[in-house]
Structure 1
Amino acid sequence: MTSMIKFPWQQEAIIRHSQRLINSFRHWTGNSLLDVNGVPQEIAHVLFEAPFVLVSHGIESDPIFNYGNRKALELWELSWEEFITMPSRKSAEEVVQEERDRLLSEAANKGFISNYSGIRTSSNGKRFYIENTILWNVLDEENQHCGQAAFFSSWKFIT
Structure 2
Amino acid sequence: MNEAHAKRLLSSYKRWTGEELLPINERLPLLKQLNEADIVILSHGTEADPILNYGNNRAMEVWEMSREQFLSTPSRLTAEPMAREERAAFLEAVTSKGYINDYTGIRISATGRRFYIENATVWNVVDEQGQYCGQAASFRSIRQVD
In structure 2, the residue matched to 1:22 is 10
- Alignment deviations for residues 3-55 of structure 1 (CA, whole Å, 9 cap, x no partner): xxxxxxxxxx421111100000000000000111325x622101111001011
Give structure 2 stretches of 5+ with no counterpart.
none
Separation (CA, whole Å) in 2 of partners of 1:94 and 1:33: 30
Q: Given the two structures, how large is their TM-score scaled by the length of structure 2?
A: 0.97
1:106 to 86, 93, 96: 93
- Alignment deviations for residues 124-149 of structure 1 (CA, whole Å, 9 cap, x no partner): 00011111011100001111000000
Higher helix share: 1
Give 4+ residue runs of structure 1 displaced > 3 Å after superposition: none
Give the 5 Å matches for 1:55-134: 55-134=42-121
Give structure 1 stretches of 5+ with no counterpart.
1-12
In structure 2, the residue matched to 1:36 is 24
Separation (CA, whole Å) in 2 of partners of 1:129 and 1:151: 13
In structure 1, the residue matched to 2:140 is 153
Q: Given the two structures, how large is their TM-score scaled by the length of structure 1?
A: 0.89
Amino acid at match of 2:6: S
Secondary structure in 2 matching 1:130: strand
Secondary structure in 2 matching 1:150: strand
Separation (CA, whole Å) in 2 of partners of 1:59 and 1:94: 21
Percent identity, please: 47
Secondary structure in 2 matching 1:114: strand
Q: Give the aligned CA root-mean-square deviation in angstroms.
A: 1.0
Shift of 1:99: 0.9
Separation (CA, whole Å) in 2 of partners of 1:31 and 1:38: 17
